[in-house]
A and B are shown apart, each in its own frame.
Chain A
Amino acid sequence: MAGDNRDEYDDDDVPFTKAELDLSMDNVIVVDNLPVVPPEKVEKLAGILLKLYSKIGAIVEDGDYNGLHMPMDDEKGMSKGFAFIEFVDKKSAVMAVEQTDGHKLDKNHVFSVCRFPEFHRIVNVPDQYEAPQPPQYKERGNLREWLLDPKARDQYVIRYTDESEIYWNDTVDVKESDRLVFSRKKWTDTGHQWSPHGTYVVTFHRPGLRLWGGQNFEAAGRFMHNNVKLVDFSPCETYLVTVTWADRASDKEEENAIIIWDVRTGEKKRGFKNDGAKDKPVEPFKWSHDGKYFAKIADESIQVYSTEDFKLLDKKSFKLPGVKEFHWSPSQNIMAAFVPGSGDGQTPARVVPSRKELRQKNLFSVSDIQMHWHPDGTYLCVKVDRQKSKKTTTYSFELFRIKERDIPIEVLEIKDSVVAFAWEPKGHRFCLVHGEQPRPDISFYTMLKEGKAAVSLLKTLEKKPVNELFWSPMGHHIVLAGLKNLNGMLNFYNVDEMESMNEDEHFLCTDLVWDPTGRYVCTYVSAFRQPMENGYTIWNFAGRPQLRTAKDKFFQFLWRPRPPSLLTAKQEKEIRKQLAEYSQRYTEEDRKAKELAETAHLREREAKRKTFEEGEAIRKQLYMQWQEE
């Protein structure tokens, strides 16, 4: 239809695509935070930019115009510090933003890149306009804003279908919309993860990871690692490790299968080969509690690296022929390692970095062991399975008192098969699930019998539908749970009183997570394990439900962790002493908040009723009119 019959042509038939693109400038990006340069250096800088961006996509070239425009400040005679780059297509523009936002030209110039429509939008809102600044998120203060919440609430992220949402956990009757902190569709490809102190939330993408933080969850870091499968932070959030694992044999040769990055600068510290098994998510390194060292097993030894130079500590690995498993203490630079013998085994505990062996125990006819460090590093429990005959296995627990002189060991023999073991955080007790499924017994033990070092049984609960144990992070309380095949039976148990605070059920519940303060527990049915009944319930520690939400294709619920408390033991004590006064004030605050919520609710209802009645009046009038007809 083109051209030959111009009078009759229909507007719709003209290909207007190009004109539209020109109008929307979808294919233009704005690169900000460039060095401010005098005119003679503009060409050089332009050359650098063109070289960088032409690798990502074709840049428009039209005679003299090369698709790059760098505005000049005529008064100052210098460049303005930003540039426009026009790509041939939108896709390249999108990719360019993805790949170079946060690019470091040099120490002082970290690119801030956005697409033109976005830039345009910001510039055209005069009230909100702010001159493009170096990203504020580099400041710790802004990143930790959430810790200052006056209501002392905690946050959590959920993911369902392709939605991600971050909420405040608020138990006073607050509307969902008021609790919502952040939400975004298709934020991540596979899932989320919080950094250990809760500063960042991770999103996973094919080309790499992104970190988000601050009040509105702005971009706070980008770590390009194609096909990244796993991320692991050092305990203090200083470093992060990204991992891809060997899909093909040739991947084994890849020097950068595992990369260690500096979280704040985005700098790559070191790459490693991944010698893990094919298609298997191996834990690449284990971090020491202070983040100073990271280690893994390789070549009949434990390789300990230091974060000072990212090289082997003392330039040599720590030979331990046959070593199968090791674990760092959660509070000291001590590790426990297991070296199986031929039919026998031993579990020595050794010191790093001095490499001195602290304690060793030889164990015989071991078929398997499991190590459980107490969260405070006070104790180490080694569960030993021994195959007595083809059918019978016996179990024993080797309990190491790490902080005592010479590290005394006590042995606890258990006749039944052991289903689960868990240390009480901030305490001296542990809990065991043992006996025949599906109704095993639950036993509580203490490491301190009447204040003295001796393991003793406190209580056994018989025949309970339990297969997993979840201690409160504060100790004292535990949820005895029967998840998955036990349909989600929950027993909220007070270990100090040895009494159940409540028994309830979250039907088909697959996962259980405590909030960082031990005040609330979330149970959820994840679509990863169970297609039905997806959703989550938040309970208080005593097992009273606070919030129930059903969501199809619900995948994940993660409480936002908190950094360790800054309060000293003395301050803590002082607070406890004055708790009554605080409590009085809070009770009053709570009462007011509740009242406020109630009046707001009533007001809202009134408004709803009013609008409805207005509509009804019109309808009634019309009805009368129609009746006459």
Chain B
Amino acid sequence: MRPILLKGHKGPLTCVKYNKDGDLLFTTCRRGGVNLWYSDDGERIGTYNNHNGAVMYVDVNFACTRLATASMDATARIWDVETGKVLREFKTQAGNRCASFATGDKRLAVLTDPWGDQPCCIQIFDTESGDSPVMRIPMDVGVAKATRALWGPLNKKILVSNEAGGILSYEAATGECLIERCDFEQEIPDFTYSQDMMTFIVASKDHTAMLYDTNTLEPIRKYVSDRPINSAAISPLMDHVVIGGGQDASAVTTTAGRSGRFQALFYHKIFENEIGSVQGHFGPINSLAFNPDGRSFTSGGEDGYVRVHHFDPEYFSLE
């Protein structure tokens, strides 16, 4: 498996995301900036560059016409994918960690950090009109800071992860918290859905990742590693999941890459055993995504590189 190394960001990656067809790849960076690449050869198509702070998350709509970004510059934006023009800009009271299109693109859920004595909060905007949110779902005061807020299937629920290792489910219509559970001992930096959105995988700094049932919010499987996990993704093709992370720079004293444990690790989705690993990054992996065709995956690292890996034929004969 020969990786394609994408160099275009000047700082740590925060998010990598494929469009529905899997031909395009969007990446965001803590030093600001969003890049668009062809996913098969890594050619850069364009940039979306006028946020004034770290871009924390990127979402692309189903038709691949609109792009949503969440930034620490206290805005969330909707862009025209083709022209790169900013179509909408939502000003928020604090930095934003996540922005997610509802199915049908009418709504955008933006996760905003706490400000003043206000807790962090999901703000739902109308993508067509109005500058202020149509709805606000504040987290409970004193509850750990939320890290991701993503729409569930049919726009019925919004799932939220937080820094205390908790997963919460909110009723989108009422803003009511339906389920709250805490299965991890440490922060959840990221979670991602399976292609059909019926399951999702949660990555935690406590060295584990877990597969959940989206409907019941019950854990299905647990993947145990030896390193803090920053991101995880479910293969749409094989019964595999990939997880990645690594020791924080502050904890790594030796320069040797092997001691930081920066590989992307593959686990069997059902049997929970580690089946392989892919080396390459020399800093922790911050974000992982499978190509919707399941034939390649992408990792974005603290080292500022994006690595696109196309699987060898042998991979597909793995059990």
A residues touching B (Cβ–Cβ < 8 Å)? 507-508, 531-533, 550, 605, 608-609, 612, 615, 619-620, 622-623, 626, 629
Contact = CB atoms under 8 A, between A and B. Distances in A.
B196 A623 contact: yes
B279 interface: no
Contact of B199 (A609, A619, A629): A619
Contact of A612 (B153, B221, B253): B221
21 contacts: A507-B256, A532-B259, A533-B259, A605-B271, A608-B270, A608-B271, A608-B272, A609-B271, A612-B220, A612-B221, A612-B269, A615-B220, A619-B196, A619-B199, A619-B215, A622-B215, A623-B196, A623-B198, A626-B153, A626-B154, A629-B154
A532 B196 contact: no
A609 B272 CA distance: 11
Contacts of A622: 198, 215
Nearest to A532: B259
B226 interface: yes
A547 to B, nearest CB: 14
Contacts of B83: none
A463 to B, nearest CB: 24
Contacts of A508: 259
Interface string B95-112: 000000000000000000
Interface in B138-164: 153-154
A619 B194 CA distance: 12
Nearest to B226: A550
A608 B199 CA distance: 17
A592 B226 CA distance: 33
A531 B199 contact: no
Interface in B164-209: 196, 198-199
Contacts of B254: 532
Contacts of B198: 619-620, 622-623
B80 interface: no
B102 to A, nearest CB: 14
Contacts of A550: 226
B258 interface: yes
Contact of B259 (A507, A620, A626): A507
A615 B216 CA distance: 11
B213 interface: yes
Contacts of A623: 196, 198
Interface in B209-229: 213, 215, 220-221, 226
A537 to B, nearest CB: 13
A615 B270 contact: no
A626 B197 CA distance: 11
Contacts of B153: 626
A620 B199 CA distance: 11
B253 A532 contact: yes
Contacts of B252: 532
Nearest to B221: A612
A605 B215 CA distance: 25
A259 B220 CA distance: 56
B251 to A, nearest CB: 8
A612 B253 CA distance: 41
Given A532-B259, A619-B215, A622-B198, 19 more contacts: A507-B256, A507-B258, A507-B259, A531-B253, A532-B252, A532-B253, A532-B254, A533-B259, A609-B270, A612-B269, A615-B213, A619-B196, A619-B198, A619-B199, A619-B213, A620-B198, A623-B198, A626-B153, A626-B154
B286 to A, nearest CB: 21
A612 B154 contact: no
B285 to A, nearest CB: 18
A612 B211 CA distance: 11
Nearest to B207: A552
Return the 9 tightest CB-CB contacts between A and B, nearest first. Answer: A619-B198, A550-B226, A612-B270, A532-B259, A623-B198, A605-B271, A609-B270, A623-B196, A626-B154
A623 B259 CA distance: 43
Interface string B104-139: 000000000000000000000000000000000000
Nearest to B253: A532
A507 B215 CA distance: 45
Contacts of B154: 626, 629
A470 to B, nearest CB: 24
A612 B219 CA distance: 11
A91 to B, nearest CB: 29
A440 to B, nearest CB: 25
A619 B234 CA distance: 16
A605 B199 CA distance: 20
Contacts of A507: 256, 258-259
Nearest to B198: A619
Contacts of B272: 608
A629 B156 CA distance: 12
Contacts of B199: 619
B243 to A, nearest CB: 15
